[in-house]
Each structure stands twice: as structure tokens, then as C-alpha cells.
Structure 1
């Protein structure tokens, strides 16, 4: 089924009407929104009567002039119910008569100013709050969401984009997967993406796809048409076996495993292990079918059954048979609930969530979002056409990756003297590499693999081997040991599934997917052992210019140095200089195996260890996973697999040949260094496949760099992608510019340019150049945003993941206050679910013991993270960046007395300010240095200690230690935290919304926190019954006084004290939840029902459902 929207700029011409009718006929459009028809109501009625006589229609012509919006639909195929009509939108529900699929559509034609559009965004947000079905929002939004969505004019300001981005965030709307044109509007020299299609996550929950196609611009139109295809996800074929960790919890699992594992299988150790794993699949499939199929439905049904029996047991407390039945129902419900959570956690790969909160609804949402994001519904072919045939899609991918991985590449022009010009391994290091493999080493390698990591072709997770180590461990050790003893690997052990991760959501081609190799656990254990032995030796043999995967070297150092080296590129009166930013085409995937083996041998790695590595590399074979179904089979002939534990280390060693090669070629008199690099003789910086080269801006130096790149490509297989590589020239190069550009096959680049994801610019980095950070934060929030996630779950995501994302940028740049405020606004909206914050962010950022939630203040955290650089400079850490700072900035001076000049970088100026802030906290410089020394680990400063030193403090709150306990579920603690701060959205706190302030429980007074929890007649009875059940006699009047009393009288670690605390927190939580159900769902507040629910929960606590 297809729906569409098109800003047609007038429907009065016959040619326009014919275009619309042809579009409907060719694309089988069933619902169509025509924007800016410029027709009167009567003229439009005539158009419908004569041109589409059997179609239905609705317009907003009576709301606003100009014939702005008309919705038409084919009533033979769809039933339409119009829900809301306004001057900027029409909201409707449509049901397909064929499939009976029902969904909501909001068609948009936004007005031209920010203030006018705010009323529209407010309405759309309200629609989303009440929409619990698949929902699509499409039309002409008259604004963009990102600077890249406008071309040919000045970039849009953050102010112009802010409202729409906040709407998407608050309403959980994301761009639908799309094909066709990226820019949807064009006039003169300006292009922009004004038309878009937004969808909520419930499409994937209904197993329905919703994809957009932006049709090519037609003559006479300035907007493209937006075509939306809605269809059921079809069964694409049988999916391979996958071991689910929930099976481990079943009482019969060990017996099933034992019957298979104790069989006598003849063959090599690797064959025996592989054979037993294969024999085990069928009984596990049978177990899944009988006990775990449709696990969510089973868990839901078992919970209903437990509640039914519980009510019967309440009425007949002396019935022993009912007691036994209740115990069995409870155990089954707990088992299935745990199994469902384990299953969804494994599918979602969500390792960052609370261990004490049940998050099954959230996991469901994440799984559906991931499936929808990674689902390949269409593919753009080489000729520009689009295919939706899964057979053709599979053929395209298999052909592409067979050509990529399955093509032999010789090593042409290898010179072993290049490697011998640098350091090689010594005898002691060689001995460490080939020392005997022990079973303990094998076990450690296995247990380092995450339980939920994607399995390989055999389908088994590392959790299977870990949980059954006593039975299967010996076979695994024998198989791994056999490989190291014989040097031979069974082919099926080294088979690989290529999982495809889309790089773009718009018009993907086969090259727009990142291939991630999923290998078997046995193979991962082998390569983890190899990597663990090889990794510690890299610092002694890898060039200082390489920063990736070498212990003690940081990505930040490369970025710091690159940022310093691009300074002055806009000045015309400085010496000429050059930077080449190199993109290596499909870097990991195209490494020549012959070249790899030569480099490994010549750098001093012993032959035995090289043979182990090359056996792993050269016996690989591949199948492609497309929408969960495997396609094709082919052998590898080149490349390193992304996802293989040892691939990053091998790639760094391959790149070492380039580092030594360029060092040799830049030693001659024809090469001149970049003006800021001559002292340390820096010619390049490398971080994995991110490579930048530096030289003076003269032809001879640049020619040496270009020829070195070309020669390295011939010898290694790592060819330069000239379309994505750029040359940057600065200083006085105008006269030589044409000759330089003729010399190299690179486009001249412009600043800012992204290096390792960070913008580099010759001048101070502007606010607009931080958009990648804002986009990253927004993408994470959009991936998580769901109505099923509690406050506590959101808090954990912000604290554990979001602050990790921020830390990458905050540890590299002095981030402007404007950007930090924007990030805080995004996190605040995510936490509170809208624009209205319940607690000020500065209070949220306090530690828990001081009344906050323990989220770090981003401004202070920025300084704390940058203090690492201050300390590295002080310690004279042996890195290229620190040596450069001492050589260029300090000139033998102490960093503690360094006074930056105006011409110095923003980073060095900020480091000086941070240094002064730290020193100001102590009476002397010596005490400040002593503080950092005491708070360092292995020479690295503990940034958390510096943060605690620099942050603002508040008075401790005695009640905080009461609510934040490991045995109290965090969602209960969070509601208690809000209640104790009097920040629950009770009606007295919502006075600004002009609501009637009355308690919906008793109708006897205004709703305040004290009234709701103690003064209300209904909740008062609840408290009395709960206290009587717990054996408490204390009269409670306020939350804080109650907390103080419980804290004083029941402050032990015994079961009773813990149970009382949980009871108190749960009663507050359940009272608040019941209040919301009364107001928003029309439920009835019954004291007995509330108390029964509280008792049932506490009974589960006492019986061990929650660990005390």
C-alpha cells in the first residue's frame, strides 16, 4: 500500500492535474496529500467530481486561505477517519481493507516562521502522546533538522532547527528509511530537505515496514513527491540456529547436554567439538519449541495465572493444595519472566541497563528498533535503479563481497629493508610469543568474551561454554590446543558470517554497509590468545606516529597534534604548508595476505607464531546474512575481518611498513617538513586507517608523499580512495597551487574537516562545527527513546552511556558553553519526557548523598577530563604529542608556570586555566601536585577525583542514604526522590498549566505531596493497613519525618529493616502509580486492591523474587 504527499504549487492547470493522476496510477497511491493546491473549495470539488469521482477527500481550506491542504483517498481500498483538521496539519486514521492494517497519518504543511510553526509542533506532540498505534508524519515541514540538509546558502542556525528536533525527540519520531532524492526542494542555487517522512517505533512492533521514496524532481515543480510504502514483513526464509542463553535456566538443560556430550565421536579434537555442537542443535530446538517458543506470550500468561491462583489463595488461606499450586505458579512465572528478560537482553545486546530493574518492555522496543534499522527492504543498484527483490538484493551483496574478500591481490615491490630500518623483536619477546599454551590461558580467553556477543555460524554463544565449563571445557581446550600444536584449523571452525550494518538511512548501495565478521567461539578463543600475546609487544616496534591499539597511546593525542598542525592555514603571509587527509579504500578488507606474512616475518615475529596467524587468516570462508537469512558461500583471498580480535593489531603492523617507508623517503634533501614538524621530523599521523600526511607546501615534498602512498598501495593492497581524500594547502602557496594540484590526484579540501570524528579547523572551532557531537547524542537518545522506559532506566542510560559519549569530546576539546547547554537540554528532555523539568539540572548533577542523581556536570567534567593532558605534559609522557608540546610551547619550562600567548591554541589556554583552578584549591603548588600524584593510578590521573575537587558542593541530605539502596528497585527510589524533593507533578506543582487542584482519591482537598501520601482519607487507610501488616505503630505525617524515623529505628542490615524500607518505598510508588491510573485511565482507587497489590509484591520480596 502506498500513501504520498506532494507540494504541487497549484492544481489549476490541466498539465498539473494530469501529472497528479499519472503519479497516482503509476505508483498505486491509495492516500494522497496535495499541498498548496491554490484552489477554492468549489473548484477542488469539481476536480474531485470529474477526475477522481470515486475518491473521498477532506481539506483545510476553511482554516486558512490558498487551498493549502487537501487529503484524498481511494475508498475502495482504504477506510479513512479524519481525527483533526487545522491550518498546518490534518490528522487521520486509515485502515487497509485488504490487510486490515490500521495506522495514523499526520500530514504537515508548516508555515514559514519559527513562531508560527511552534503551534504546529505543540499539536503534533499532543497527537503523539495519545497515539498507541503505528504513526507516520509526512509533508512539507518548511525547515531542516541538520546543517547538511541545506546547500547553496548560509547554514541554518541552531535556533531554526531546535523546535523540530525537540519534537522528534519528545514524540519518539525518526526519519523513515528512504531512497531517492536527498534534497526535496530546489529554487535557484539553493537546495534543502524540507519534505520528510517521520515514523514512530510501533511499525516494527506490528511487523510492518514503512519506507519512504523521494521521487525525482519533475519539470514545473519545486518540490519532489514523498511516496511512502507500507507493507507486511514477509518470511524471507529459514534462519540459522542460534543458541539462546535463556535455555541455560531450564531444569532439563544439563541432562540434554550430558546425553549428547558423552557420546563417543571419532576424529580430531576440532572435529569432535564441532560434531558434538552440531548434534546438540536438534534437541535444543525441540526444547525451545516445547518450553520457550513465544516466550513473551508465555511469560504474560504465566503471570496472569499466578495472579488468579493468588486471589483464590487469599480467599482460602488454609487450603494446602492451593498453597502448593500457588508456589508452582509463582516459580513458573519467575522462571519465564527471567527467561524472557535474558532472551531480550541477548537480542538487544543492552549491557548498560540496571540489574535490579525489570526492563522487558524496553528490551522489546530496542529489539524492534534494531531490527527495523538493520532491515534491508531495498537496494540501489550500480545503474541508479532501485530493487526490492530479495533475490536480487542477495545476489548483489554476494557478488560484491565475493569480489572484495575473494579476490587474490599480490604484493608488488615488497622491500624487506624497509622493515629492517626500524625496531624488531628481540629474543626475549620472541620466546614470550611461542611459550606453551595452557588450559588456564584458554579459559581466560573464553571468559573475556561477552555473553551476548553475536555468535558465529555454529550459533553458540560464549555463555554456553562458560556455564557448562565443567563438561565442555575439556573438549574446547583440546580443540584449541590441537590447533596450536598442529598449526592446522578445521575449515568449518573458521567459517564466518558477514553481518551488514548500514552506514546511511537513505538510498543505500552495497558499499554503504559495514561488514562485521561473526566468528565461532572456538575461533575467537584462538585469536584472543594470539592478540593477548602480540598486543603487549607493539609499543616497542610500532612507530610513534601510530596511535591505535598500542598501549599507552591515546586517540586524543593524535587529535591534539593534528589540531595544532592545521593552525595558520588561513594566513597568506606564513610559510607554505600541506596536509593530505587520506582515505584508504576498504582498508581492512583489502590487505594483501602475502604482504601481511612478509611484514610479520621481517619485523621479528617467529615463524611458528606467523604460521598460527596466517592459518587463521587464510582458511577463512564467508556467508552473507541478509535480514537474518544466510546467502552464498565463498573462500577469502585477502583482507582482515572486522570483528576478529587480532585484526586491529595486524592492521597496525601492516601500516608500520608505511611509517618506515615514509621515514626513509623523507630523509633525503628533496623533502621539506611542515614548518611546525621539522623539530620532531613528523611526516604523518595514523590511527588505524585514519591517515594524515604533512609536509612543506612545495611540489617536491608533496610529490614524495603522493608517490609513497601509491607505492604502498601496490605492495600492501591498501589503495588510496582519491574521491574521498583531500589535500589542504596553507600559507603562501598561490603561485605553486596549479602545479601542486596537477601533481596529485586529490581534491583540494576546505576546513573544517573531520579527523577521527572530530572537526579540525585553523581558527577557533565554531559552535556549528560541533554538530557531529549533537548528532551523536541525538542518535543515541532516539535509539533509546521509548514510553516503556522508567525514569530510573533513563537515568542509568544517561549516566552510563551518554556521559561516555560526551567524555570522548569533552576529553579532547574545551567545549563551548553553548554546546554543553544544548547537550544538557537533550538529556533533560530525554529524562523528563518533555520540556518541563521536574528538578533543576544543577541539582540533578549533585552526588546522591547531596540530594542529586549523580550525573556529572558537563562543564566541570570537561575540565576534569582535560586535566589528564595537563598531567601527561607534567609527567613528560613518552608520546609524540607531549614531546611536541615541550618542544614547541614549553621550551624547557615547567607546565605549572607556562603563560599562554594570544596566538596559542584554545586547548593550551584552557589547560592553563584548569591548572590555575586546581592550584587555587590548595595553599601551594606543591600541595596541588601532591594531590594529583596521590590520585593517580599507574601514572594516569583519576579524573573522578579532579571532578570532585572542582565541582560545586551542597549540604548532605540525610534521607538520600535511605532511598538509594541496592536492594530497593531504582524506579521506586526515583519516585521517592521526587516525592522527598516535593517535585512530583501533583496538581499544586502544575499550577502554571491552569489545572483544577483537587485530590482525585478523596475529592476532599487540594492535591499536594503531604495530602496525597498522608492526609488523604484513601491513602491514609492504605498506610494504616500496611503498617498494621508490618507491625508498625508510628504515626506518619510527612515523608521526611517518616524517613527519619525509619532510618533511626530500622537502620540495620537485617531482613526486617530491609523489608520495611522496601515496603515504605513501594507504598509511595504504588500510590503514585494508582493516582496516575485514576486520572489518565479512569481507574477506581480501591483501598483493598491497593493494599493487596502491596502485600503481593512484598510477599514476592520475602520469597526471594527480589534479592535482599
Structure 2
């Protein structure tokens, strides 16, 4: 694969822009060994881009073949898909929206309480879309038309200033234009999500001296604090467990008055959720949807714990559960998932779920996988853009990062960049690509050397080729400007700094979940005496399906 990528870089080829790009090959297996891969692609050079700058490739249906047909289009614009729905607070000024929402919400929907709410919100969303198009009017379409009509009327008034009826029409249209422009400003302000922008262009400006004093006072309060221990061995005490009374209080039913108070106090200008409805919508229509929302509140999470043991991680539609590798824990996971399915109406897709082990013998693994009915997976896997591994990171596992850097440089090959321009791209773009990995892992020295080799080759040649003359040693280049270099940071030094920051978070009583877990579960004997846990741990990754 690396040879193929080197060939693409050598020929200055890159992928053509695509529409609804999908995995283009499958083995069409009807058993559990079903595989999807991206094998087919459209590669073009700089000459093609210059001749057809707006071209793109579209992936068609696979039908009965193993491969997906690719069709290249040369039209001027990529087709735009539908825009996501977003509720705008300015709509509430038109009282007819209340009748529209009430009529849609009162539609009969059968199913579980949570299912009824989600379906009714979809009905409300579609009703508001129609209402916005037919009654309120799309502001982005309406405002240019009103502006042109107002300009025509004002020109007629200037030509015939004694016509009172014409002047009256111009004044009325001017008021309507101001109202429409205010609606547009309110919508743009809500899209921008700027909390400081409250009255159009009436900004609040602080004197420069106040800003400087604020910076000095903030960092002085941190650096001069006596709360942080200067000794690395002074590890804070583990976080205390919840008392029985606190655990019972957290598990008690939520009262309607408490929910009403929270809804009333929520900020209506905050960003909307995935469904497009923001806090102002629920504040305005809580009288209508509050009763059904309280019924659906019966779903309770089964993973509440009194101590600081991480039991699960959630990101988008991925859920990872952690437990000891024994039959009792496996039975507990099955019970929790069954309760979740009974409450929410969602079931775990076993075909997309896997069990991962960091230890244990094969007989134990086989017993647990059979108990769960889920196959065993193989680490590493990619989670939140990083490889999830049970051991030290290897150079082979860093190849996705190196490939990403090579592709980014390949996209710049057709640009005539100066030496200063390439330096700026290295400092601002390439360094940001590996910063996410650098902050999380101890990168292998071989991977650090390869990344720096790619950067210095691009600096001197402007390409991704492996052969290049380097007039100045990289050690000199990475020195500060005062020392004769150009200020590029060494990747090894940056990696060490990130590791020291993680150590600082542990010692400085950082309140993040990770720092608390390390202090409680790993660093009981001090930073210098970390011991590898002897007990096996397993992880389960599941995907819910409706």
C-alpha cells in the first residue's frame, strides 16, 4: 500500500472530488464474513483540474457487481443537498406558528413514550417547514424582492412627490422592509451563535489596558496559587465515594416542578440539538409537550456507579462498555442491555458489535463471547480518530497519520509556493495534523523521524519525493530565530511537552475524568511506581439499531 501511495505522489495524482462517496467494493458474502472496501477511485492530475475545475465523480449503485460504477461529471456546480432544519426564534413573533405546532403535535402516534415524542417532533418539523415557506416566507428570498420594490417606489415618489397615496405605499413598504431586515439579522445572529452580539452592530469594546490586566490577573492567580504541590510524590487523595443517601437521592424520580424550572431557565439562544430544535422552542411550547416528555423520563441509565470506575464511553452512535473479564460481569452487561432495550425500544446490533480482551486465557474468552452472543474483536480499533490499543504504540499503527500528512502535501504539489509559504504551511497545517496524536501517545522514534523527514523534504523541494538536497541541517532549522534557526518545533520535544502536561494534570488535581481515574486506579503508589494491573479487562463496543 505504501508503494502505491508513493506512485500516486510521484505522478502528482490525487482523488477527484466526489458526491456521496461510499465504499466501492464488497465481497457480496451472505455469511458473517461480509467485507466493504474502497478500491475504486478517480485519480486526476493538475492538468485535469486546470481544464475542469468543477468536475466531480459520483458513485452509482453497485447492483449485482462487486464493484461500484463511477461516473465523472464536468458541470459547473456540485449539486447541493437539502439544508438541515433549524428552529429560529424570530418565528415566534408570528402567532400563527403556535396553531401550526399544536395541530401537528396533536396527531395520533402509537408506540413507546420516547418513540411518540421523536415522531411528533418530526411531524412538527415538517409542519414548520411548510409554514415557513407558505406563510412566514423565507427571509433570504423575501428580502431582496422587498428591497427592489422599495427602490422602485422611492424612485416613483421622487418623480411625483405630491402623490400622497404613492408616498403612503412607500412608507408602508419601508416599514415592512425594516421588519424583514430585522428578521434576517436575528436569523444570522442565531446562526453565528455569538453571545456577545445582542443588539445588532452595537458592540461592547473594552479598553486595551483592561484586557491586559485581565490576562495578568488570571494567570497570576494560577501560577501563584499555593494549592498546587511542588512535589511529584504528593498525589492527592482519591475522590470520595457517594454516600448511600446521595446515591438514593440521585436515583429518585425527577419531579415535574424541577423539570419546569430547568426548562424555564435554559438559554433560548444556545445551539440546537441534532433535530434542529433549540431551547427557545421547548420554552415556548413546553405547555404542549411537557406532559409526554415527563412520561418518557421513566428511562433511567443502568450504569450509575458510586465510585470512580469508568464503566462506559459514548460518542455519537458508538458505545464502549468496560468490565472485568469474568462471567459475572458479562451477565451484568447482558442484563443492562436488555433493560435498555425494553425502555428505549432500541436493540443492540450483534453483527456490528465486538468484544475486546486485554488479557485472559482462550477458554475464558470463548465462554464470555458465547454468553454475550457477540464475536471477539481484534485490537487495535479506531476510536475518536485514534487507534485504541492495549500496549505501546508501534510505528505500523502510526501509518494512518503519516499517510494523512503525505496526502496533504500532495494536494499542494500543483501550487507554486515560495520557501516562506512552505514554511508557513509546515508550522500551521502539518504540525496541527500530528498534534492530536502527539498529545495522546508516546510516538515511536521511527515515526517521529519519518514525519520530520517528510516536513524537511517539503520545505526544501516543495514535494513529497524522498530524494532532495538539504542545504541546512534540520537541527539548525529547528532552533529559534535568535539562535539562527527559523522556529520549527522538534516533534520529539513537542511529544515530551505533551507528556509532561498529562503528568501535570495528574499532580495538579485536575478535575477531568481521565485525571481522576489515573489518580484513583493507577497512581496509588506514586507517579514513579506505576504498576501494570494483573487482572484482565475486557471492552465491549456496541451499536444500537432501531
Instruction: Report the TM-score, using the length of structure 1 for normalisation.
Output: 0.28
Cα distance in 1 for partners of 2:491, 2:271 equals: 48
Query: Counterpart in 2 of 1:867?
Result: 500
1:608 is aligned, of 259, 264, 274, to: 264
Query: Counterpart in 2 of 1:858?
Result: 491
Query: Counterpart in 1 of 2:12?
Result: 172
- Mapping 1:668-687, distance limit 5 Å: 680-687=308-315
Query: Counterpart in 1 of 2:75?
Result: 233
- Mapping 1:196-215, distance limit 5 Å: 198-207=43-52, 209=55, 211=57
Label 1:228 to 1:749 Cα distance change in 2 as closer, same or farther (>3 A).
closer
Label 1:225 to 1:690 Cα distance change in 2 as closer, same or farther (>3 A).
closer
Which structure is higher in RCO with an 8 Å CA cutoff and minimum separation 6? 2
1:710: Cα distance to partner? Answer: 5.0
1:792: Cα distance to partner? Answer: 2.3
Give a deviation string over 1:850-891, Cα, whole Å, max 9, x none: 232211110111101111111112212223332333334432
- Mapping 1:660-1059, distance limit 5 Å: 661-664=301-304, 680-687=308-315, 690-712=318-340, 715=343, 720-732=348-360, 734-735=362-363, 737-738=365-366, 740-744=368-372, 746-831=374-459, 832-834=461-463, 835-836=467-468, 837-891=470-524, 893=526, 895=527, 898-899=528-529, 903=532
1:527: Cα distance to partner? Answer: 8.6
1:773: Cα distance to partner? Answer: 1.6
Query: Counterpart in 2 of 1:128?
Result: none
Label 1:859 to 1:175 Cα distance change in 2 as closer, same or farther (>3 A).
same
Question: Cα RMSD (Å) of the superposition?
Answer: 5.5
1:528: Cα distance to partner? Answer: 5.7
Label 1:197 to 1:828 Cα distance change in 2 as closer, same or farther (>3 A).
farther
Unpaired runs of at least 5, structure 2: 28-35, 95-108, 117-137, 143-177, 198-253, 281-296, 535-546
Query: Counterpart in 2 of 1:1087?
Result: none
Instruction: Report the TM-score, using the length of structure 2 for normalisation.
Output: 0.53
- Mapping 1:471-486, distance limit 5 Å: none
Cα distance in 1 for partners of 2:389, 2:500 equals: 23
Contact 1:843 1:851 in 2 (8 A): yes
1:791: Cα distance to partner? Answer: 2.8
- Mapping 1:479-518, distance limit 5 Å: none
- Residue 878 of structure 1 aligns to a residue whose secondary structure is coil
Give a deviation string over 1:532-567, Cα, whole Å, max 9, x none: xxxxxxxxxxxxxxxxxxxxxxxxxxxxxxxxxxxx
1:807: Cα distance to partner? Answer: 1.3
Contact 2:24 2:38 in 1 (8 A): no
Contact 1:807 1:865 in 2 (8 A): no
Contact 1:179 1:212 in 2 (8 A): no
Give a deviation string over 1:1073-1100, Cα, whole Å, max 9, x none: xxxxxxxxxxxxxxxxxxxxxxxxxxxx
Give a deviation string over 1:245-278, Cα, whole Å, max 9, x none: xxxxxxxxxxxxxxxxxxxxxxx9947999xxxx
* Residue correspondences, number: 374
Contact 1:682 1:694 in 2 (8 A): yes
1:814: Cα distance to partner? Answer: 0.8
Cα distance in 2 for partners of 1:599, 1:775 equals: 53
1:825: Cα distance to partner? Answer: 2.5
Label 1:605 to 1:862 Cα distance change in 2 as closer, same or farther (>3 A).
farther
Cα distance in 2 for partners of 1:458, 1:821 equals: 52
Cα distance in 2 for partners of 1:645, 1:783 equals: 42
Give a deviation string over 1:796-841, Cα, whole Å, max 9, x none: 2221122122111111111001111221222233332243144333
Contact 1:214 1:225 in 2 (8 A): no
Cα distance in 1 for partners of 2:89, 2:299 equals: 42
Contact 1:845 1:852 in 2 (8 A): yes
Bigger Rg, which one: 1
Contact 1:662 1:708 in 2 (8 A): yes
Contact 2:193 2:271 in 1 (8 A): no
Unpaired runs of at least 5, structure 1: 1-143, 146-160, 185-190, 242-267, 275-406, 415-455, 461-473, 482-492, 494-519, 531-597, 618-638, 647-656, 668-678, 906-1108
Give a deviation string over 1:883-916, Cα, whole Å, max 9, x none: 33333443253x4xx2556x589xxxxxxxxxxx
Query: Counterpart in 1 of 2:216?
Result: none
Contact 1:754 1:760 in 2 (8 A): yes
- Residue 203 of structure 1 aligns to a residue whose secondary structure is helix
Matched, 1:524 2:191: yes
Label 1:228 to 1:859 Cα distance change in 2 as closer, same or farther (>3 A).
same
Label 1:601 to 1:689 Cα distance change in 2 as closer, same or farther (>3 A).
farther
- Residue 891 of structure 1 aligns to a residue whose secondary structure is helix
Contact 1:173 1:198 in 2 (8 A): yes
1:740: Cα distance to partner? Answer: 3.4
- Mapping 1:320-719, distance limit 5 Å: 411-412=113-114, 458=140, 520-524=187-191, 606-609=262-265, 612=268, 639-641=274-276, 661-664=301-304, 680-687=308-315, 690-712=318-340, 715=343
Greater strand proportion:
1
